[in-house]
Amino acid sequence: MQKSVFFGTFAAAGLLAGMASAATLEDVKARGMVNCGVATGVPGFAFTDASGEWDGFDVAVCRAVAAAVLGDGKKVNFVPTTGKTRFTALASGEVDMLARNTTWTYSRDVDLKFTFVGVNYYDGQGFMVRKDLGVTSAKELDGATVCIQTGTTTELNLADYFRINGMSYEPVPIETNAEAQQKYLANACDVYTTDASGLAATRATFETPADHIILPEIISKEPLGPLVRQGDDQWADIVRWTFNVLVIAEELGVTSANVVEMSKAPTNNPEINRMLGTEGEYGAMMGLEKDWAVKAIAAGGNYGEIFERNIGEKTPIGLARGLNAQWTQGGLLYAPPFR
């Protein structure tokens, strides 16, 4: 009957829509691709290289997850999102995870119903100005015109900072990093403010980076990290532990160069053995292959390797490890034990 087909379709569509929020792992496996939301273009963090391939510090997290789940770091469908569109993309299921310098905040975690799986970069909001302005401190910025990316935590921090310090400013809200950069370079705003790592990354692309300084004040805590939808704990665990494995690998000296060698036979370190699947059945606990961690590490290297290659001191971005060093090196990077 015509009628039953019609209602059948409705019922099926309703069921599918209901199920889309759970069992992301099944969806990803069926699709053969991880849909990963990244920034529209931040040098060092998420950008397309000369050959059109996505690369960067945040992109590496997506690739590691794809490698852990599907065995191939290339099986990622990158979805560029702006500060404004990112949460809608994740909440609606357009992407399976976000890895785009997004600050972990209370309301995002609790009210927006997301789960932050960790912090891949400890950052803080800073200010960049032209050197010839003669400004040496953020306290001297009273009356300045400030370019901000709209829909970000920086926007709110900025308002708080100027209010607390009794200063006024003229906000120029801009949609993307590129547009804000163009305004700042044209001197249509005195100050560009965003996370200090973003400022360093942006400055690295300027013709004369030395003409611009990043003011010493860091006015906020910006723990940036990957996040997933709340309610699918299995998928959250997968993304969380893929990231943790990259951190543990650095701590234990497992690199992209030696990981395959180390995974062939048990080593004398039981934590490495458990992680690389030569001891116990840890992969199966999450619904993954035995060697998921091996593939994740082999895809782009451990946390340290990813950092050095994309944003480290030898790159044009030139960020020091600072807070992002391992806890054993005086930093904040501390992954729970793999056992």
Partner 1 sequence: MAATTDPHASESFRIGMLLYDTRYRSITIQIIALVLFMLALGWLVTNTISNLEALGKTFGFGFLWTPAGYDINQQLIEYQNTDTNARAAMLGILNTLLIAVMGCVTATLLGVVAGVLRLSNNWVVARLMTLYVEGFRNVPVLIWILLFAAGINESLPAPNAFRGDNSDASMVLGSMAFTNRGFYVPEPLFSRSLGTLDVNGYFGISLDLILIVLVLVASIWGVRRLAAHATRRQAETGDRPKTFWPSVGLIVLPQVVVLVALGFHLGYPALKGFNFQGGIHMRDSLIALWLALSLYTGAFIAEIVRAGILAVSKGQTEAASALGMRPSWTMRLIVLPQAMRIIIPPLISNYLNLTKNSSLAIAVGYMDATGTLGGITLNQTGREMECLLLLMGFYLIVSLTISVVMNVYNERMKLKER
Interface contacts to partner 1, rule CB under 8 A: 10, 13-14, 17-18, 21, 83-84, 87-88, 91, 107-108, 111-113, 133, 141-145, 150-151, 155-156, 158-160, 162-163, 169-175, 179, 182-183, 186-190, 229-231
Q: In whole angstroms, give the CA distance from residue 202 to residue 214.
A: 11
Non-local (6+) Cβ contacts of 314 within 8 A are 308
Q: In what order do the strands lie in the sheet with 97-98?
A: 76-81, 34-39, 97-98, 227-229, 114-116
Least separation in angstroms between residue 194's CB and partner 1 is 15
| SS3 call for 336 | coil
The smaller minimum CB distance to partner 1, of residues 12 and 285, is found at: 12
The smaller minimum CB distance to partner 1, of residues 45 and 87, is found at: 87
Cβ–Cβ under 8 Å, residues 126 and 199:
yes
Helix 57-70 with 292-300: angle, nearest 10 deg:
150
Least separation in angstroms between residue 131's CB and partner 1 is 13
Least separation in angstroms between residue 84's CB and partner 1 is 5
Least separation in angstroms between residue 98's CB and partner 1 is 13
Nearest residue to 129 (alpha-carbon basis) of 22, 215, 63, 20:
215
The smaller minimum CB distance to partner 1, of residues 176 and 278, is found at: 176
The smaller minimum CB distance to partner 1, of residues 16 and 265, is found at: 16
State in Å, rounded, how far the first CA of the chain is from the last one: 57
The smaller minimum CB distance to partner 1, of residues 97 and 248, is found at: 97
The smaller minimum CB distance to partner 1, of residues 182 and 328, is found at: 182
**Tokens representing residue 62 in the block:** 């997506």
Least separation in angstroms between residue 188's CB and partner 1 is 4
Least separation in angstroms between residue 238's CB and partner 1 is 20
Q: In whole angstroms, give the CA distance from residue 241 to residue 259.
A: 17
Q: In whole angstroms, give the CA distance from residue 195 to residue 224.
A: 9
